[in-house]
Amino acid sequence: MGAFESILLTVITAATPLLLAAIGELVVERSGVLNLGVEGMMIVGAVMGFAGAQATGSPYLGAVFALLSGMGMALLFGFLTLHLVANQVATGLALTLLGLGLSGMIGEAFVGQPGIRLTGIEIPVLSDLPLVGRLLFGQDVLVYLSLALVAGVSYVLFRTRAGLIIRAVGDNHASAHALGVSVLKVRYLAVLFGGACAGLAGGYLSLVYTPQWVEGMTAGRGWIALALVVFATWRPLRVLAGAYLFGAVGILQFHAQAHGVAIPSQFMSALPYVATIAVLVIISRNRILTRVNTPACLGRPFVPDR
Amino acid sequence: MKKLFGIALAAALGLGMASAQAEDKLKVGFIYVGPIGDHGWSYQHNQGRLAIEAAFGDKVETTYIENVSEGPDAERAIERLARDGAGLIFTTSFGFMNPTLKVAKKFPDVKFEHATGYKRADNVSTYSARFYEGRYIIGQIAAKMSKTGTAGYIGSFPIPEVVRGINSFMLGAQSVNPDFKIKVVWVNSWYDPGKEADAAKALLDQGADVISQHTDSPAPLQVAEERGAVGFGQASDMIKFAPNAQLTAIVDDWSVYYVNRVQAALDGTWKSEDIWGGLAKDMVLMAPFTNLPEDIANEAAAMTDKIRSGEFHPFTGPIFKQNGEVAVEDGIILDDGALLGMNWYVKGIDDQLPQ
């Protein structure tokens, strides 16, 4: 395995959990809901993914557990913020706290146990091609799924009627309501989708990235995903670019350090954040387009007929 | 975020504890900086707490507060334990030093034990472990096992504790192979499995074939296992995560020390002390030497005995700094003060120490 190929493989692993969580949150925010509980949904996904794989012996079923548990957390969030019209910011923060605590409790028995790895697929001939074989045809299913999600979300949001409805709800829920769209139903579905993605992102951590369970293993990745969505101005392809850029800079700074490049390591550790924000701000510098892309009703509760 | 979580937890635990009190028992309290589920630093301290329970049964009652951040929260958490009637309180992270002393002043009858600090009072002891002793042993093993002559070292923060470990590792490796190389990568975190794994991959990609870590998760070892490299467990025996890759592990074992101190408190012989124990005091243990040729395993065991008996000290001169300056004269053993404040690399390490 060449060094270049190996670096790229590492970058894909680092970027995929961010991408999964961010693409889900993008849809949530496009529908006008701000769910700050990504970190909480992710960590529950991580522990449930691990638990599911242990219980069933199959990492694929583990990923399904992760997905469903993320949706469960999202359902709670949806019930509180959409049904009971609780404050979205506060509820999102509470969801993160709940997730961190709950996952610690569920995972107590799993500490110190090795996990089951969800391995890459093997396509005869293709996976063995030199250079590109493993990169293109040897990844795990979740990597392909994350990329398919980006394409799918991009297509649905901007090319279909369903996407138009989601964006309408996010931009002006009163008008959408007047047109006969069920705002709450659309938002519920978006929130659930976001939860599923965040849960899968957590599952990716405990099944692929580092197959183990330790408390707090998300280590702030949910917050990074949230920031990516904003800096990418709610555009799916920019989220993709941001996640991979963040992953790439994070890996390259380790290589620079190991090479003995004389730059303070504290600066190196900050570099992925700085670089990603800088690049995304530059590509999103057109103010008018940014305003068009920002969901106008983001974070605003909708109460029908009141 | 962590702060809020800590407060919430502290409050929840506090309520739980208040209801379950007994008068004549010695209550022993613990403050942890991380979750007990980290399988690293806090996990090992919690194992020590469980050892107290196992040893004394009904005579003591233990409580703990986890995820306490190293700031004003710590003072509140410690004070809560003291108010709830704890007679002996262990605060298990460096950053709890000043909060511990503050609370100790307010509660002169309560005994305090602060891990890894250097400030004491009549009712405050300090204790730490000489992990660098184990690092010398694994440095020797690394140099014997490496084919590329290069080890990768994953550091958390460039503080004396970690720098001392790198130096000790390197001195051990150089005693086997004077040209041994070490690549150091700092992740600026004690605990982020993903980043630790990425750092390990980067080091392996750059030609290291032995991984040593001063971060808390088993992730780097898992990477070594997957890539067919070898490594060493940190804080606890991580053989389950890397059955073919772990050569040994430096295990933090607080249980002997904790049981002794509780015994002293029960007997009324407890007094303020400064304990910095290593292999000799069973505070540092070496996990079984595995996946090694028999002669290397035997030599490692022999070296462990030599350090334990005091026959050999890893920081015995001559030792040179990176620029060639003499750090320790021939035959002299570096004193504890210099060890505790170590902020320089030994000769042969290419990395620049972040200041």
Segments making up each domain of chain A, as ranges = 3-293
CB contact under 8 A, A260 and B199: no
Q: What is the mean pLDDT of residues A277-303?
A: 87
Domains with residue ranges and CATH for chain B: 2-129 (3.40.50.2300), 132-251+286-340 (3.40.50.2300)
B18: pLDDT strictly greater than 50: no
B4: pLDDT strictly greater than 70: no
pLDDT at A1: 54
For B298-319, the three-class secondary structure string (H helix, E strand, C coil) is HHHHHHHHHHHHCCCCCCECCE
| Set of chain B residues whose Cβ sits within 8 Å of the Cβ of A112 | 39, 43, 236, 240
Average pLDDT taken over every residue of chain A: 92
Share of chain B above pLDDT 90, in %: 77
Residue with tokens 């108010």: B83
B22: pLDDT strictly greater than 90: no
CB contact under 8 A, A111 and B37: yes
Q: What is the mean pLDDT of residues A263-291?
A: 85
B242-294 per-position pLDDT tens digit: 999 999 999 999 999 999 999 999 999 999 999 999 999 999 999 999 999 99
Could you give the CA distance from residue B36 to residue B59 in angstroms, rounded to a whole number?
Answer: 24
Q: How far is A254 from chain B (nearest CA, A)?
A: 6
Decide: A212 and B217 in contact? Cβ < 8 Å: yes
Cα Dmax for chain A: 64
A166: pLDDT strictly greater than 90: yes
Q: What is the mean pLDDT of residues B234-248?
A: 94
B86-107 per-position pLDDT tens digit: 999 999 998 899 999 999 999 9
Q: What is the mean pLDDT of residues B66-90?
A: 92
Could you give the CA distance from residue B173 to residue B148 in angstroms, rounded to a whole number?
Answer: 13
Q: What is the mean pLDDT of residues A201-226?
A: 94
Asked if A100 is an interface residue toward chain B (Cβ–Cβ < 8 A), one would say yes
Average pLDDT taken over every residue of chain B: 90
Q: How many CB pairs under 8 A join A and B?
A: 140
A12-67 per-position pLDDT tens digit: 999 999 999 999 999 999 999 999 999 999 999 999 999 999 999 999 999 999 99
Between residues B18 and A104, the one the model is more confident about: A104
B155: pLDDT strictly greater than 90: yes
Q: What is the mean pLDDT of residues A164-171?
A: 96
Residue with tokens 């707090």: A216
Q: How far is B21 from chain A (nearest CA, A)?
A: 24
CATH number for the domain whose boundaries are A3-293 = 1.10.3470
Secondary element (H or E) of residue B182: strand B181-186
pLDDT at A112: 83
Between residues B7 and B83, the one the model is more confident about: B83
B2: pLDDT strictly greater than 80: no
| Set of chain B residues whose Cβ sits within 8 Å of the Cβ of A214 | 37-40, 191, 193, 217-218
Could you give the CA distance from residue A13 to residue B300 in angstroms, rounded to a whole number?
Answer: 36
For A262-293, the three-class secondary structure string (H helix, E strand, C coil) is CCCHHHHHHHHHHHHHHHHHHHCCCHHHHHHH
Q: What is the mean pLDDT of residues B118-132?
A: 93
Non-local CB neighbours of A268 within 8 Å, separated by 6+ positions: A253, A256, A257, B186
Between residues A126 and B181, the one the model is more confident about: B181
Q: How far is A263 from chain B (nearest CA, A)?
A: 8
pLDDT at B23: 52
Taking phi over 0 as left and psi of -120 to 50 as alpha, with beta for the rest, B285 belongs to: beta
> Is residue A67 classed as helix, strand or coil in its secondary structure?
helix
Which pairing describes strands B284-286 and B246-252: parallel, antiparallel, or unpaired?
Answer: antiparallel
Could you give the CA distance from residue A225 to residue A36 in angstroms, rounded to a whole number?
Answer: 10
- B interface mutation test: which of A42, A210, A263 has the most B CBs within 10 A? A210
Identity at B164, one-letter amino acid code = R
Could you give the CA distance from residue B114 to residue B94 in angstroms, rounded to a whole number?
Answer: 8
Q: What is the mean pLDDT of residues A164-190?
A: 95
| Set of chain A residues whose Cβ sits within 8 Å of the Cβ of B43 | 111-112
| Set of chain A residues whose Cβ sits within 8 Å of the Cβ of B350 | 260
B321-346 per-position pLDDT tens digit: 998 999 999 999 999 989 988 999 99
CB contact under 8 A, B205 and A6: yes
Query: If pLDDT is split at 50, 70 and 90, which confidence band does B69 have?
Result: confident
Could you give the CA distance from residue A25 to residue A198 in angstroms, rounded to a whole number?
Answer: 8
Asked if A89 is an interface residue toward chain B (Cβ–Cβ < 8 A), one would say no
B213: pLDDT strictly greater than 80: yes
Radius of gyration of chain A (CA): 20
Q: For A133-137, A200-204, A293-297, which range has the lowest pLDDT when averaged over its residues?
A: A133-137
